[in-house]
């Protein structure tokens, strides 16, 4: 054991974003009664996240491990920290108006969001299985509650219950896998596990090790909604409040992928050959299930849920490539995906109106006539989800499949690309409804987008297009950060 | 900024400005986009002089880095192959804007904006010398056309638009896979550089690799052409699109496919191109005859013209894969001819539709007595389309048949059946529409050409005649360029001596 048990200042700096957010979240809960206008708490959460981004950047100036290797600050960590914090900020922007209309704006929601983000921030920065698990649980429990936030709405309760039951079942597998791994290698630190596996001491327990990795795969695959553990996603995304679905599809998913990449490519990289076929099959199945199931959806939230499964499949392709270019491609992709999906969900939230009464694809009819700008922005997001050039989604796919070809995954690439042609169909259906079908009379008029929704839409659209025209902005950093600290 | 940059930038800027123009003033929108497209057209004429001087090399070349890793360059240039195709696109855009003048009454801003975006896309494809850039423009041109069909088309427009998009997308994702594969192998997307690597033997591909890469590119292009049996999207898309959409689709977008074959498939995969030529020619001839036979039985004029495109484009493919100078010259010439004459046919059919609101041949008859000038122009265009000597298509078809004959008599024989059939279906359609009894509704609705319609048709008719008799004004740059391509395909070793020197210079310049 190291002699000095008192953490140094730089160690504190390395977890300062989490500290800031935890303090902010706790204060928001305890001081709620001081604020008669709950919106103020949203503003506090927003600026706390902004501050956390600042601290992440500061911490990045002094990278390294902290707390005996529990925390690892490297480029990869910083990238994902900023991504989940930014996702949180956009979620706040699009939730405020939604919650006010639902008469449910409270400190609780904003605090839960902040706590969930603390969990994700820990997931992406920890270099230790126990720490990862704590981060995962912090993030998950907060998100279970958020999925059922509008208690009076039965769809919300159903979503939360499903998410909670299936989620805790899957995390149990993960925990069991961690325990087995500890049993085999005697370590929970990723670098240490890697060292033990490389040393060949575990050769006689190869089968046990395979079982351990398989159980951990169950936990991770559930969190990223990869096949065959994707079935919760459509129900949860459809049932949860629209801004929460947006958040779930961007933040927790990116964080879960980050830890999936880190665990697979540091600790378990020495036994790559044993898990590669598993990931190959899962990646393909995820893309196929997501895209083909999405073809038949009529509810737009459910459609976006299946689309998010399909996109998880593309990122799984990058993971299967198991290379630095693959990691960089996945980082770029998750950033682009967060931008385009948050944008799309912001518009869905807007069109759904109070009580989410208009969530069918057909409710988008004539949007291009009623609100041309909103329709045009949604088109940008959908084209990006299809992967049309000059959008972030295109470059994301391009980098992922380039990495896959680099790793000689020719068939996975061809099948994946054909899948993305299938995907064009269901995204185009939304465009068809918006632009080619006349508006129908509705009881509840569609107001102009609220300031928060408009801001989310525009930020997401600018990000989507910027990533599509100057991808170097993000890709350069991703490329530099893709060699994980081992 | 050189001329080519402006040709891309002006319509791109026009696209955004058009969207921002006031929505209650369609006249302003029409005049603005017409002005923009005319400026672009006039500027594009400036390319003729320099390219004519040295058609084998790339003129107005720009080569700057767009993205560092992977190395994607904004590399554009124009040579004898792309020159006329660029000008065809810039010429037809103002014409299509004029065609839509009174026809398009809803969402005017978006319509004209998409016309300009389409222009950016197609010109971009024709001038790209970087495979990645090529792919970007290829996809960009897809989006406006999808909206043109889907919003302003006829009854089954949505079905047609989605089918069009999905077919093209399915082909292009495979092309993307091939482009990435090539990049991983060579470290470059740069087309002249890749051609040079192939010609000098620095890029060696196993036969299997060459075959699959060739096929991936060819599949994407063949869908766009469209080559039988991948043509099924075309009658729907052409039939359902508004006139301007049909014209741009037939005259320009189909050429993206044939252009891609000549520009990318042949020089990059000469061996695979030669090995696969027999079945491709077989499909081309099948398309020529099948397209003609199906056109013959179409009751709908627009679909008839659409199927005639399948037949005409079969000639282009036949000419290219004959690998003879005459055949490939004829093929490229035929791309232009088809653009002019089929474009004109779609416009004339559109005139009839605007007057009588039906496309069924059976609803017409005796139009000649009420609209003699319309009939005259229609007959001239028809004769051009069926390949009457002194008109443009004759030159192209003759050269293609000559080239085919040099390879095999049977190729030329079966293709010539298509020429005969084209006379049958076109003249029969003309007879049923323009001659005979004039039904009362036709007498009431169909009027003769007005000033605007004349202004549209005169340049096209002039071109039909000019390209028919003044071949030497158009063909030399095409021939010069095809010579280079043919050398690369037929004798990779010989091409080394003939073209290595200028290519090396170019690529040194490119670095």
Q: SS3 helix, strand, coil % of chain A, rounded to 5? A: 80, 0, 20
Instruction: Choose the mutation target among A421, A437, A439 for the interface with B, i.e. most B CBs under 10 Å.
Output: A421
User: Distance, in angstroms, between B91 CA and closest chain A CA?
Assistant: 26
Distances in Å between the Cα of A288 and the Cα atoms of A312, A319, B75 are 11, 17, 36
Gap between the Cα atoms of B183 and A472, Å rounded? 18
Helices (H) and strands (E) in chain A, counts: 20, 2
With a cut of 0.85, is the ipTM above it? Answer: no
Rg (CA), chain A: 21
Most confident of A99-108, A256-265, B15-24, B498-507: A256-265
Asked whether the beta carbons of residue A476 and residue B68 sit closer than 8 angstroms, the reply is yes
How many CA within 13 A on the CB side of residue B29? 28
The beta-carbon neighbor of A432 closest among B158, B173, B180 is B158
Q: Please tell me the predicted confidence (pLDDT) of residue B91.
A: 92
Pair type for strands A71-73 and A64-66? antiparallel
Q: For residue A167, what are its two tokens?
A: 């989620």
The beta-carbon neighbor of B169 closest among A390, A421, A431 is A421
Is the pLDDT confidence value at B453 over 50? yes
Closest to A125 in 3D by CA, of A258, A11, A248, A312: A258
Comparing alpha-carbon positions, the chain A residue that sits nearest to B68 is A472
pLDDT in tens, B166-202: 888 888 888 998 998 888 888 888 888 888 888 787 8
Q: Please tell me the predicted confidence (pLDDT) of residue B137.
A: 92
User: Distance, in angstroms, between A288 CA and closest chain B CA?
Assistant: 15
Gap between the Cα atoms of B351 and B346, Å rounded? 9
User: Distance, in angstroms, between B181 CA and closest chain A CA?
Assistant: 7
The beta-carbon neighbor of B180 closest among A405, A429, A471 is A405
User: Distance, in angstroms, between B376 CA and closest chain A CA?
Assistant: 37
**A4-13, A229-238, B423-432, B491-500: least confident range:** B491-500
Is the pLDDT confidence value at A195 over 80? yes
**Are the beta carbons of A332 and A315 closer than 8 angstroms?**
no
pLDDT in tens, B5-26: 888 889 999 998 988 888 888 8
pLDDT in tens, B279-302: 999 999 999 999 999 998 988 888
pLDDT in tens, A133-176: 999 999 999 999 999 888 888 888 888 999 999 998 889 999 99
Residues of A with CB under 8 A from a CB of B: 383, 386, 388-390, 394, 398, 401-402, 405-406, 410, 413-414, 417-418, 420-421, 424-425, 428-429, 431-432, 435-436, 470-472, 475-476, 479
Asked whether the beta carbons of residue B184 and residue A402 sit closer than 8 angstroms, the reply is yes
Is B160 a member of any domain? no
Instruction: Choose the mutation target among B109, B172, B176 for the interface with A, i.e. most A CBs under 10 Å.
Output: B176
Gap between the Cα atoms of B439 and B367, Å rounded? 9
Gap between the Cα atoms of B427 and B433, Å rounded? 10
Is B162 a member of any domain? no
**Are the beta carbons of B396 and B468 closer than 8 angstroms?**
no
Pairs of CB atoms within 8 A across A/B: 77
Q: Please tell me the predicted confidence (pLDDT) of residue A198.
A: 87
Asked whether the beta carbons of residue B166 and residue A414 sit closer than 8 angstroms, the reply is no
Q: Please tell me the predicted confidence (pLDDT) of residue B5.
A: 87
Is the pLDDT confidence value at A441 over 80? no
Show residues of chain B in contact with A471, CB under 8 Å.
67
Q: For residue B155, what are its two tokens?
A: 């009854």
Show the domain range for B405.
274-511
Residues of B with CB under 8 A from a CB of A: 67-70, 135-136, 139-140, 142-143, 146-147, 150-151, 157-158, 161-162, 165-166, 169-170, 173-174, 176-177, 180-181, 183-184
Q: For residue B439, what are its two tokens?
A: 């039904």
Closest to A424 in 3D by CA, of B311, B163, B303, B280: B163
Residue A40, classified by CB atoms within 10 Å of its CB into exposed (0-12), middle (13-18) or buried (19+), is middle
Q: For residue B102, what are its two tokens?
A: 């009174």
Is B318 a member of any domain? yes
Q: For residue A104, what are its two tokens?
A: 């449910």
Is the pLDDT confidence value at B508 over 70? no
- Mean of all residue pLDDT scores within chain B: 86
Q: For residue B164, what are its two tokens?
A: 């069009």
Q: For residue A213, what are its two tokens?
A: 């990795």
Distances in Å between the Cα of A342 and the Cα atoms of A88, A338, B48, B369 are 10, 6, 48, 62
Pair type for strands B59-67 and B72-78? antiparallel
Distances in Å between the Cα of A221 and the Cα atoms of A230, A271, A290 are 8, 18, 14
Residue environment code for B239-265, b if the CB has 16+ CB neighbours within 10 A, otherwise e: bbbbbbbbbbbbbbbbbbbbbbbbbbb
Helix (H, G, I), strand (E, B) or coil at A354: helix
Is B215 a member of any domain? no
Handedness of CA B242, B244, B250, B256 (dihedral sign): negative
Comparing alpha-carbon positions, the chain A residue that sits nearest to B159 is A432
Mean pLDDT across B161-169? 87
How many CA within 13 A on the CB side of residue A41? 28
Helix (H, G, I), strand (E, B) or coil at A279: helix
Is the pLDDT confidence value at B78 over 50? yes
Question: Considering chain A, what percentage of its residues have pLDDT values greater than 90?
Answer: 44
DSSP state of B1: -
pLDDT in tens, A59-99: 888 888 888 888 889 889 999 999 999 999 999 999 988 88
Show residues of chain B in contact with A413, CB under 8 Å.
177, 180
Comparing alpha-carbon positions, the chain B residue that sits nearest to A478 is B69
Distances in Å between the Cα of B473 and the Cα atoms of B48, B466, B469, B477, B486 are 11, 9, 9, 9, 22
Helix (H, G, I), strand (E, B) or coil at B233: helix
Helix (H, G, I), strand (E, B) or coil at A239: helix
The β-bridge partners of B300 are B360
Instruction: Please report the DSSP string for B264-290 in residue order.
Output: IIHHH-HHHHHHHHHHHHHHHHHHHHH
Mean pLDDT across A202-210? 83
pLDDT in tens, A349-398: 998 888 788 888 888 888 888 888 899 999 999 999 998 888 999 999 99
Is B282 a member of any domain? yes
The beta-carbon neighbor of A436 closest among B142, B150, B184 is B150
pLDDT in tens, B302-345: 889 999 989 999 999 999 998 888 899 999 999 999 999 999 99
pLDDT in tens, B225-251: 888 888 888 888 888 888 888 899 888
Handedness of CA A133, A285, A428, A337 (dihedral sign): positive
Gap between the Cα atoms of B191 and A48, Å rounded? 50
User: Distance, in angstroms, between A263 CA and closest chain B CA?
Assistant: 27
Residue B357, classified by CB atoms within 10 Å of its CB into exposed (0-12), middle (13-18) or buried (19+), is exposed
The beta-carbon neighbor of A435 closest among B69, B151, B173 is B151
Comparing alpha-carbon positions, the chain A residue that sits nearest to B153 is A436
Q: Please tell me the predicted confidence (pLDDT) of residue A178.
A: 93
Show residues of chain A in contact with B135, CB under 8 Å.
389
User: Distance, in angstroms, between B455 CA and closest chain A CA?
Assistant: 32
**Are the beta carbons of B374 and B244 closer than 8 angstroms?**
no
- Mean of all residue pLDDT scores within chain A: 89
Gap between the Cα atoms of A450 and A97, Å rounded? 7
CB neighbour list of residue B329: distance below 8 Å, 6 or more residues apart: B319, B399, B403, B475, B478, B479, B482
Gap between the Cα atoms of B460 and B413, Å rounded? 31
- In this prediction, residue A3 has a pLDDT band, given cuts at 50, 70 and 90, of low
Mean pLDDT across B127-156? 89
Asked whether the beta carbons of residue A436 and residue B68 sit closer than 8 angstroms, the reply is no
Closest to A394 in 3D by CA, of A346, A329, A342: A329
Is the pLDDT confidence value at A485 over 80? no
Instruction: Choose the mutation target among A398, A403, A477 for the interface with B, i.e. most B CBs under 10 Å.
Output: A398
Instruction: Choose the mutation target among A385, A387, A405, A465 for the interface with B, i.e. most B CBs under 10 Å.
Output: A405
Q: Please tell me the predicted confidence (pLDDT) of residue B507.
A: 40
Instruction: Please report the DSSP string for B29-51 in residue order.
Output: HHHHHHHHHHHHHHHHHTTHHHH
Instruction: Choose the mutation target among B69, B169, B182 for the interface with A, i.e. most A CBs under 10 Å.
Output: B169
């Amino acid at each position: 054991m190291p002699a000095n048990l008192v953490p140094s200042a730089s160690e504190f700096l390395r977890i300062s974003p989490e500290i800031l957010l935890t303090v902010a979240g706790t204060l928001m809960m305890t001081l709620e009664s001081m604020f008669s206008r709950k919106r103020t708490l949203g503003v506090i959460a927003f600026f706390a996240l902004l501050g956390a981004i600042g601290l992440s950047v500061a911490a990045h100036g002094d990278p390294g491990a902290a707390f005996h290797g529990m925390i690892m600050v490297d480029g990869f960590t910083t990238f994902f920290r900023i991504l989940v914090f930014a996702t949180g900020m956009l979620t706040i922007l699009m939730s405020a108006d939604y919650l006010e209309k639902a008469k449910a704006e409270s400190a609780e929601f904003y605090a839960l969001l902040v706590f969930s983000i603390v969990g994700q921030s820990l997931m992406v920065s920890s270099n230790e299985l126990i720490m990862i698990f704590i981060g995962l649980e912090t993030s998950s429990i907060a998100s279970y509650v958020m999925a059922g936030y509008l208690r009076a709405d039965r769809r919300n309760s159903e979503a939360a219950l499903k998410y909670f039951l299936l989620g805790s079942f899957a995390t149990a597998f993960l925990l069991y896998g961690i325990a087995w791994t500890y049993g085999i290698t005697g370590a929970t630190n990723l670098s240490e596990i890697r060292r033990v596996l490389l040393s060949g001491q575990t050769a006689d327990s190869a089968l046990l090790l395979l079982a351990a990795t398989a159980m951990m795969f169950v936990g991770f695959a559930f969190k990223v909604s990869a096949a065959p553990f994707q079935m919760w996603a459509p129900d949860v995304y459809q049932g949860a409040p629209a801004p929460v679905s947006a958040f779930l599809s961007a933040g927790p998913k990116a964080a879960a992928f980050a830890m999936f990449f880190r665990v697979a490519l540091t600790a378990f990289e020495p036994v790559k050959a044993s898990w590669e076929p598993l990931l190959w099959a899962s990646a393909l199945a995820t893309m196929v299930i997501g895209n083909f199931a999405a073809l038949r959806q009529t509810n737009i939230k459910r459609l976006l849920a299946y689309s998010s499964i399909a996109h998880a499949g593309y990122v799984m392709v990058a993971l299967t490539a198991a290379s630095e270019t693959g990691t960089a491609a996945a980082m770029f992709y998750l950033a682009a995906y967060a931008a385009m999906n948050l944008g799309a969900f912001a518009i869905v939230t807007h069109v759904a109106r109070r009580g989410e009464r208009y969530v069918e694809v057909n409710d988008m009819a004539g949007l291009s006539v009623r609100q041309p700008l909103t329709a045009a922005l949604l088109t940008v997001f959908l084209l990006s989800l299809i992967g049309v050039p000059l959008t972030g989604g295109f470059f994301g796919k391009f980098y992922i499949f380039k990495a896959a070809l680099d790793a000689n995954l020719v068939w996975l690439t061809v099948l994946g690309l054909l899948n993305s042609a299938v995907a064009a169909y269901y995204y185009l259906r939304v465009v068809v409804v918006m632009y080619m079908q006349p508006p129908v009379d509705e009881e509840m008029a569609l107001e102009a987008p609220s300031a928060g929704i408009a801001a989310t839409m525009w930020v997401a659209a600018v990000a989507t297009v910027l990533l599509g025209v100057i991808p170097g902005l993000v890709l350069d950093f991703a490329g530099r950060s893709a060699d994980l600290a081992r | 900024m050189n001329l080519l940059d402006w040709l891309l930038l002006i319509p791109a800027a026009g696209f955004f400005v058009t969207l921002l123009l006031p929505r209650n003033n369609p006249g302003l929108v029409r005049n603005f986009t017409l002005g923009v497209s005319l400026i672009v057209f006039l500027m594009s004429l400036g390319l003729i002089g320099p390219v004519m001087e040295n058609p084998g090399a790339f003129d107005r070349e720009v080569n700057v880095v767009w993205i560092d890793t992977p190395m994607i360059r904004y590399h554009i240039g124009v040579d004898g192959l792309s020159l006329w195709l660029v000008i065809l696109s810039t010429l037809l855009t103002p014409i299509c804007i004029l065609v839509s003048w009174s026809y398009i009454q809803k969402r005017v801003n978006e319509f004209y904006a998409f016309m300009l975006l389409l222009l950016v896309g197609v010109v971009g494809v024709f001038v790209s010398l970087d495979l990645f850039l090529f792919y970007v423009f290829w996809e960009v041109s897809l989006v406006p056309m999808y909206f043109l069909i889907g919003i302003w088309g006829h009854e089954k427009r949505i079905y047609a638009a989605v089918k069009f998009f999905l077919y093209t997308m399915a082909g292009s994702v495979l092309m993307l896979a091939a482009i990435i594969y090539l990049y991983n192998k060579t470290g470059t997307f740069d087309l002249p550089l890749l051609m040079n690597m192939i010609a000098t033997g620095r890029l060696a591909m196993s036969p299997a690799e060459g075959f699959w890469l060739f096929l991936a590119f060819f599949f994407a292009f063949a869908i766009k052409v469209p080559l039988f049996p991948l043509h099924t999207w075309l009658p729907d898309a052409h039939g359902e699109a508004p006139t301007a959409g049909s014209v741009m689709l037939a005259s320009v977008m189909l050429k993206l496919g044939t252009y891609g074959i000549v520009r990318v498939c042949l020089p990059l995969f000469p061996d695979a191109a030669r090995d696969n030529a027999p079945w491709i020619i077989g499909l081309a001839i099948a398309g020529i005859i099948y397209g003609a036979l199906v056109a013959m039985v179409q009751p709908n004029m627009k679909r008839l013209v659409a199927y005639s495109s399948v037949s005409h484009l079969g000639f282009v493919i036949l000419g290219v894969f004959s690998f003879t100078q005459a055949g490939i010259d004829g093929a490229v010439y035929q791309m232009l001819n088809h653009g002019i004459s089929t474009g004109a046919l779609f416009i004339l059919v559109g005139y009839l539709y605007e007057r009588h609101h039906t496309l069924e041949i059976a609803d017409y008859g005796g139009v000649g007595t009420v609209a003699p000038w319309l009939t005259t122009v229609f007959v001239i265009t028809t004769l051009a389309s069926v390949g009457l000597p002194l008109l443009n298509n004759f030159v192209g078809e003759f050269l293609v048949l000559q080239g085919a004959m040099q390879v095999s008599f049977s190729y030329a024989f079966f293709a010539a059946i298509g020429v005969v059939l084209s006379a049958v279906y076109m003249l029969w359609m003309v007879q049923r529409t323009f001659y005979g009894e004039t039904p009362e509704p036709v007498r009431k609705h169909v009027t003769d050409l007005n000033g605007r319609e004349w202004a549209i048709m005169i340049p096209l008719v002039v071109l039909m005649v000019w390209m028919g008799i003044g071949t030497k004004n158009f063909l030399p740059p095409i021939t010069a360029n095809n010579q280079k391509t043919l050398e690369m395909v037929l004798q990779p070793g010989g091409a080394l001596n003939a073209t290595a020197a200028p290519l090396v210079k170019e690529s040194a310049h490119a670095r």
